[in-house]
Each structure stands twice: as structure tokens, then as C-alpha cells.
Amino acid sequence: MLQKKICMVGMFGTGKTCLVQRYVHSLFSVKYLTTVGVKIDRREVQANGQPVMLMLWDLEGRDDTRDINTSYLKGAHGVLYVVDGTRHDTFDKMFEIRDLVTRTIGEVPSVVALNKSDLTDQWQLKPADDRRLADKRCSSLLTSAKSGAGVEAAFQQLADAIVAPTGAQR
Amino acid sequence: MLDEQPRSASDFATLRELLLGPERQQLDELADRVDAAAITPETLADQLPEAIALRANRDQQLGRALAPTVETALRESIRKNPRDIATAIFPVLGPAIRKAIAETMAGLVRSINSAVEHSLSVQGIKWRIEAWRTGERYADVVIKHALVYRVEQVFLIHAETGLLLAHVTAPGLDVPDADLISGMLTAIQDFVLDSFRPGEGGTLSTFTVGEHTVHVEAGPRALIAGVVRGQCPEAVPQRLQRTLEQIHLEYASALAEFEGDPVPFGSTGPLLEENLETVLSTDRAAERRPLLWLRWALPLAAIVLVVLGLVAASSRRWGRAVRSMEAEPGFVVIDASRSWGRWHFRGLKDPNARDPRTVLAAAGLTPPAIAGEWKPYLSLDSAMIVARARRMLGVPASMTTTLAADTLRVAGNASLAWLGALRAAPAVPGVSRVDLSAVRANLPPGIDALRRRIERGRVLFAPGSFRVTEAGLTEIRGLATAMRQLSDSAAAIGASLRIDLVGRTDPTGTDATNQSLAELRVDAVMARLAAAGVPHAVLEGRPLATAQPLKADDAVEQASINRSVSFEVVVTKGSLGPRGP
């Protein structure tokens, strides 16, 4: 089966791990994140009519972009950026992280997950922020680790972007 | 016209040159090139090898194009003349077949060794029980205990992405998450490199977890990781490295173009499987055989020693038993034997001998059971004679008996009745004389008081004299009265009486003089006693002179008391037999 390496990055506390926990097959415990700095999970999806195994590299969230271990990004076929919609700083930081990723591995398909969408009363993202995403040609969607909303779609969107319909892969 | 002719020709040439010059030059060049490129068999023969090499280096098109033709040609050739092909590939095929057979045989021998060694040994039985108890396969239990090392899994991992290219496992092992492990192995590699920055070419090559060791060999495009259980020899990482190099060589383009599709690497399976290997300690049985032998021999030797010890102890006990029985008075052992739980004796036994069990118990032996076959006999062993005499004479327990040659000496206090009965006692075999001198009769109180009074009495004499002094006369008168009374009392109870007059002297003077002096002193006292009415028959003189002197604290006193006649009273029932010395 086709395999693809997906990196999940985002600031500390954006809920990356929670986001995927219910949707993946895990072998390693969460403590790998704090020890090794990465935890690898597995998720099978159908993308453009063929099964694809997504190997999800959940990178430990850091508050400082410089602390992100870029070694783990090597060879990634796609990136899932995770933003905490109730903390605007995580949104701003996402662009910094995105620059770092692009510098390290080049342009790869990516999806921005605007997480914690269930906390509408604390939501800090404005329509201006949507425009900013559109300007940067970032595809984004709302997700909630709590309700599970948008999670499947995020994986699906990313897998579809990575695996070309003709079978000619990126 | 003549001039015109050539002029017009040259003009035409010039014109042609002017009009078509560049094109003509191109045509000439083309013509040259066509000439140069013309492929003749000769030029082809020159250039073909180089061309093939060039193209083969560039891509695999040539090979793909030629493959059907070559296959057809080969088939045709084999069909026409198989012998030539067989001859040609024989040098390659021979060793390959030999190697395959050797490996199969080695495996067979190993499994036979292992089966023989473990099926019949205690360990083997233990392992079978463990397999039965835990529900594991017997082979797995053997591997668990006898394993030296086993390469259980080999991962081929894409270096950049950490994606799993291929994975092989030892038979019976199921690793469902090989892809996750593969990713994490790469992550850990990165983590270690970032953490320690070992410099150019450094990698995490080995790490150990419990009984597992993971060897990672890194190549430019792929990693190979072998998971080894047990003591991993140096050869394992070396072989992994060779496999990785070969894969880099054979799959160079597939590795370079890898975009997540592991299908092209499916064919690396056999290469990776070459690394899977199980080595059991039974494969090195020859080295361990002395130890195995020892493991059997030591307990066996201990058992043999214990058994020998028990046999020796039993034999010693038996020897001691036979010796005790042979030494015991009253037994003549003719035959002694033993069987399980029973000791047999055959021989002669004196009726007075002790019970054999008592004899053995006295020697500290507790026999299992004794079967005795004894014929009665009379033992002349002194202890038996004494025992027999005591029984036949009815000697009371309070009295002692000793045997010297054939004389039985009896000592102690005896009743007058017993002394009287002794007269009528039968002759005891082995005893010719009974010495009763040390026997004191238990007398009635009156008689005994008189006896003590008489035996306290002593008639003293002056040195060298046998004349009875005044004091002596007074003493004799008192003694005579007592003796008369004693004589009457003894006669009244039917007992016989004897009074010994013991005459002594001091040590001065010759023996002959002293002997006659003692006799004279005895005679003097005896005459006075008889004159005073003591029956002469009861009196008996014993002139000892200096033979058995009376003892005193100082020499003067001793000399004084030994110049005397003293008295010993013997009262007995009936008439007294022969006296002892």
C-alpha cells in the first residue's frame, strides 16, 4: 500500500495530539512526545480511489519556532498545521512555522486545522484571518478534537492533495 | 566565343557560388556527415560494445529491449543442444547445489542433535512440561532456553521519510506495527543525531533493550535495521551492511524515486531474509559436553558414595555384631549370616548365657530381627561358671562371687539358713572348692553382740614373753564368760561355733623365734580359757607371728598390740566344710 509521511505541527497546547488520538492506530504512548519529541501514528484513508497509509508524525508542540526539530520534517509528503482558534497567537505563529517548514523541505501540500471549534464563545479568529489564509493560499478547515468535527475531513483533504487523481504522485 | 565560353562557365560558377554558396557548404557538410555516419558492418563491429556499455549505463532500455530476443535465443539453443548449456553453467550450478545441500544437511543434523539432546535429557523433559504448562510450542520453549541469538526481524527503511520499504520476520513472529516501528526508529536516529551531534557519518548503530539488540546500518538512501534476540555476534551487523550495500546497488533508482510506494521493494525479501538466523546453544553442544557429563556424574557419584557408605556402615555393624556374639561368654557361634531385615546365628548356648538381643544392645547394636538356632552346652568360661554357681548355690544378690582357678570365693553377709543349705547344695560343674572365708553370718542379736565382744578382746604380752599377765588374766576371765555364753547360744539354735585364737609377735627377733613365741602365746591363752570352762572343741589356735600384723598409728603402739592373742568367731549352721586359705 502507498505510504505517505504527514507531519503535524503547531504551537504547544493547540491540541494536535488530541485531534488525532481517536482517529489513528497508536503503538507508542504520548510520553514519546516529551522524550523523543515525536510520536508516530498510522491512519489509512482512501485518496482518489486508492488506499493510502498516512504515517502521522506528531511533532512536540513548542512555543518558540526555533525549538522545532526540523529533522523530523525530512521527506514529509504533507503537513497538517494545527492552530488553537481560542488563542490568536497560535494563528500568527503558524505562519512562522509554515515558513520554517517551507525553508526546510520545500512546498508540500498542507492543511491548516483551526482547532477547538467547539469553544465558540472563546473564538478569537476574525474574518480578516480567513483572508490572510486565502492570501497565503492555505486551505483550512474548522476542527474539534472534542466533537471530532472536521478531523476526518482534514486527513481526507490532505491525502487528496498529496495523491494525484491520475496516480502520478507528487 | 572561345573566351566567352570559359568566361561564361566561370561566370556561371561564380554566379552559382554567389547564389547557392551557403547552401552548398551546408550540403557538403551534410554529405561529409552522411559519409562519416554510414554504418557498415565494420564500423558497427567497432562501435557496438562501446555503444552497449554506454546505453546500459544510461538506463535499462537496452536490457528490456533485448530480453525477449535473448530469452528466445536461449530457449532455442537449449532445445537444439542442451549439453552445451549444461556444460557452460555447470561450474556455477555445481557449487550452488552443493551449498544448498550442505545447508539442508547442516540444518537436519542440527535438528537431530537438538532433538536427541533435548528429548531424552532431564532438561528436555523439563522443557516439554513447560511447553505443556504454558501452552507454548515446544520449539519456542527450546529457543527461549537454548537461544544464543536469533535475528528476528529485518527492516528496510527509507532514510529520508522513515517509511517502511520492506520487512521480514522470523517464522512464527507477528509484528503488525512494523511501519510505526520503522518511523520511530528513524525518528530516534534523528533524535540521537540532533542530541549528540556526532559529526559526519555518525549514526545510532546499536541499542539494546532487555534481551533484544537493534542494529541499524545507515546508507545514503535507506537504513537497514536488524532486531536480534540474545548474544549478537559481530557477523550480524556486517551481513546487514552487505545487504544494505547490495540493495543500494540494485535498487538505486527505485530508492531515488521513492514516493511512498513500497511495491518495487517487495523483491528485496529474499535478500533481507538471508539475515534472519537462529543459533541455538545446542549447535555448540560439543563444547558443552564435558559439563553435561559432569552434571550427570556429580549426583551419580554422590549417590554411589552414599550407597557405598551405607553398605560399609552396615557391614561394620554386622562385623561388630558377630564379634560381640563370639566374645560373649556362654556362646559358641558356628555360623552367622544375614539377609534383608534378619540376622541368623547358629551354634551353642549355655543356659546361663544372656539373651543375644541384650548382648547386641550392650554393644550398641539394634538388630532388625534375630533368628537363633542354639544347641545347649555347658561353658567353662569363668563368667559362666560363676553365673552357674550363683544360680545353683542360690547366692543372694548382695554377695559377691569370684572364681580363681576352680575355687569359688564367696564374700558378704549371709544368713545362717543359707549357710546351712549350702551343705546340701549340688556340685557345681567347674567348681571344686567354695571359699566362704569372706562370708559373715548374719547372727541373731544376742549372738552377734557376744561375737563382737569376743572379737574386741585382746590378751597383751610383754616383749619376748608368753606369760599371761594379771591384766591378761582379767581379760581372759571376761572373754571366757562370753565364750561360754556364745557356745550355749549357738548350740541352742543348732549352729556350730569356732573361735580362732590368733597369736602375733612384734617384728623384733628371728622368724623362728617369733613363730614359737606366737604358738606359746596361743597355747597359754587356750589353756587359761579351757581352764575357765570354754569347750576345748570350739577353740582353734592360729599362730600368725608377724604374718598379718595389726595396724596402729605409730611403731611403738603397733609393736605393743601385736604382742598379743586376739579372737575371730565363726558361727555357722551345721558343721563347717573345708576352710579357705
A74 contacts B260? CB cut-off 8 A? no
Contact by Cβ (8 Å): A118, A146: yes
Sheet bearing A50-59, strands edge to edge:
A25-26, A38-47, A50-59, A2-10, A78-84, A110-115, A140-142
| Dist. CA A28–CA B72, nearest whole Å | 54
| Dist. CA B471–CA B273, nearest whole Å | 139
Minimal CA–CA distance to B227: which of B193, B177, B163, B268?
B177
Minimal CA–CA distance to B461: which of B559, B567, B568?
B559
| Dist. CA B153–CA B151, nearest whole Å | 6
**Do you know the residue count of chain B?**
581
A3 closest CB neighbour out of B163, B177, B193: B163
CA distance A32 to chain B (A): 10
Selected residues 261-280 of chain B with any CB under 8 Å from a CB in chain A: 261-262
Q: Which residues pair with B149 in a beta bridge?
A: B230, B279
In this structure, what DSSP letter does residue B428 have? P
Contact by Cβ (8 Å): B289, B260: no
Cell triple for A72: 523530523
Cell triple for A31: 510520553
pLDDT for A3 equals 92
Q: How many CB atoms within 10 Å of residue B512?
A: 9
Residues of chain B contacting A72 with CB distance shorter than 8 Å: 187, 190
Alpha-carbon radius of gyration of chain B: 67
pLDDT for A110 equals 92
B158 contacts A69? CB cut-off 8 A? no
Cell triple for B134: 504454558
pLDDT for B303 equals 93
| Dist. CA B112–CA B100, nearest whole Å | 18
Residues of chain B contacting A170 with CB distance shorter than 8 Å: 259
Domain B127-276, what fold? Answer: Beta-Lactamase (3.30.450)
CA distance A27 to chain B (A): 7
pLDDT for B467 equals 92
A28 contacts B180? CB cut-off 8 A? yes
φ and ψ of B157, to 5 deg: -125, 135
Selected residues 186-205 of chain B with any CB under 8 Å from a CB in chain A: 187-188, 190-191, 193-194
Burial of B433 (C-beta count, 10 Å sphere; 0-12/13-18/19+): middle
Helical H segments across B176-331, by residue range: 178-196, 235-250, 252-256, 269-273, 285-327
Q: Which residues pair with B331 in a beta bridge?
A: B349
Residue A170, in any domain of the structure? no
In this prediction the ipTM stands at 0.82
Q: Which residues, in sequence order, are CB contacts of B337 under 8 Å at separation 6+?
A: B343, B344
pLDDT for B547 equals 87
Contact by Cβ (8 Å): B436, B580: yes
* Planar angle of CA A86, A89, A95, nearest 5 degrees: 115
| Dist. CA B454–CA B447, nearest whole Å | 11
**Do you know the residue count of chain A?**
170
A1 contacts B184? CB cut-off 8 A? no
In a mutagenesis test of the B interface, which of A1, A40, A48 is the best target, namely the one with the most B β-carbons within 10 Å? A40
Q: Which CATH architecture is the domain B293-376 placed in?
A: 2-Layer Sandwich (3.30)
Q: What is the pLDDT of residues A90-119, one digit of tens each?
A: 998 899 999 999 999 999 999 999 988 888
Q: How many CA atoms lie within 13 A of B505 on its CB side?
A: 24
pLDDT for B563 equals 93
Residues of chain A contacting B181 with CB distance shorter than 8 Å: 27
pLDDT for B292 equals 66
B179 closest CB neighbour out of A32, A38, A42: A42
Q: Which residues, in sequence order, are CB contacts of B13 under 8 Å at separation 6+?
A: none
In this structure, what DSSP letter does residue B329 have? T
B194 closest CB neighbour out of A55, A57, A71: A71
Contact by Cβ (8 Å): B408, B550: no
Residue A8, in any domain of the structure? yes
Residue B207 touches partner A, C-beta closer than 8 Å: no
| Dist. CA B246–CA B578, nearest whole Å | 130
pTM of the model: 0.44
Indicate the angle between helix axes B445-456 and B470-492, nearest 10 degrees: 160
A55 contacts B180? CB cut-off 8 A? yes
Residue A75, in any domain of the structure? yes
A72 contacts B180? CB cut-off 8 A? no
Q: Chain A residue with minimal CA distance to B195?
A: A36
Place of cell 504512548: A29
Contact by Cβ (8 Å): A74, B160: yes
| Dist. CA B385–CA B81, nearest whole Å | 122
Q: What residues make up the domain containing A21?
A: 2-162
Beta strands A50-59 and B164-169, pairing class:
unpaired
Q: What is the maximum alpha-carbon separation in chain A?
A: 44
pLDDT for B573 equals 66
Q: How many CB atoms within 10 Å of residue B113?
A: 15
In this prediction, residues A137-151 reach a mean pLDDT of: 86
Residue A124, in any domain of the structure? yes
Single-letter amino acid, residue A72: Y
| Dist. CA B30–CA B32, nearest whole Å | 5
Contact by Cβ (8 Å): B535, B491: no
Q: What is the pLDDT of residues B112-137, one digit of tens each?
A: 666 655 566 777 788 888 888 888 77
Task: Give the DSSP letter string of B473-518.
Answer: HHHHHHHHHHHHHHHHHHHHTTEEEEEEEEEE--S-S-HHHHHHHH
A72 closest CB neighbour out of B163, B187, B259: B187
Q: What is the maximum alpha-carbon separation in chain B?
A: 236
| Dist. CA A101–CA A138, nearest whole Å | 14
Contact by Cβ (8 Å): B248, B165: no
Q: How many CB atoms within 10 Å of residue B195?
A: 12
Contact by Cβ (8 Å): B272, B166: yes
B162 contacts A5? CB cut-off 8 A? yes
Q: How many CB atoms within 10 Å of residue B363?
A: 15
Q: Which residues pair with B181 in a beta bridge?
A: none
Cell triple for A136: 497565503
In this structure, what DSSP letter does residue A67 have? G
Minimal CA–CA distance to B406: which of B444, B433, B387?
B433
Q: What CA–CA distances, in Å, run from B581 to B355, B393, B398, B435, B488? A: 37, 21, 23, 8, 28
B406-428 in b/e burial notation, b at 16+ Cβ within 10 A? eebbbeeebebebbbebeeeeeb
- Output the domain CATH number for residue A20: 3.40.50.300
A55 closest CB neighbour out of B179, B259, B261: B179
pLDDT for B578 equals 39
**Residues in chain B where the model's pLDDT stays below 50:** 1-2, 285-287, 575-581
Beta strands B147-158 and B278-280, pairing class:
antiparallel
Number of helices (H), then strands (E), belonging to chain B: the values are: 18, 16
Q: Does domain B443-573 bear CATH number 3.60.10.10?
A: no
Residue A150, in any domain of the structure? yes
Contact by Cβ (8 Å): B168, B265: no
In a mutagenesis test of the B interface, which of A55, A70, A73, A104 is the best target, namely the one with the most B β-carbons within 10 Å? A55
Residue A57 touches partner B, C-beta closer than 8 Å: yes
**Residue B171, SS3 per DSSP:** coil
Band of residue A167 on the pLDDT scale cut at 50, 70, 90: very low
Locate the domains of chain B by residue range.
Answer: 1-33, 127-276, 293-376, 382-441, 443-573
Band of residue A31 on the pLDDT scale cut at 50, 70, 90: low
Residue A77 touches partner B, C-beta closer than 8 Å: yes
Cell triple for B207: 541499542
CA distance A53 to chain B (A): 9
Q: How many CB atoms within 10 Å of residue A39?
A: 29
Q: What CA–CA distances, in Å, run from B50 to B45, B70, B239, B347? A: 10, 19, 35, 119
Mean pLDDT of chain A: 85
Q: How many CB atoms within 10 Å of residue B1?
A: 5
Q: Chain A residue with minimal CA distance to B186?
A: A72
Contact by Cβ (8 Å): B505, B517: yes
Q: Chain B residue with minimal CA distance to A5?
A: B161
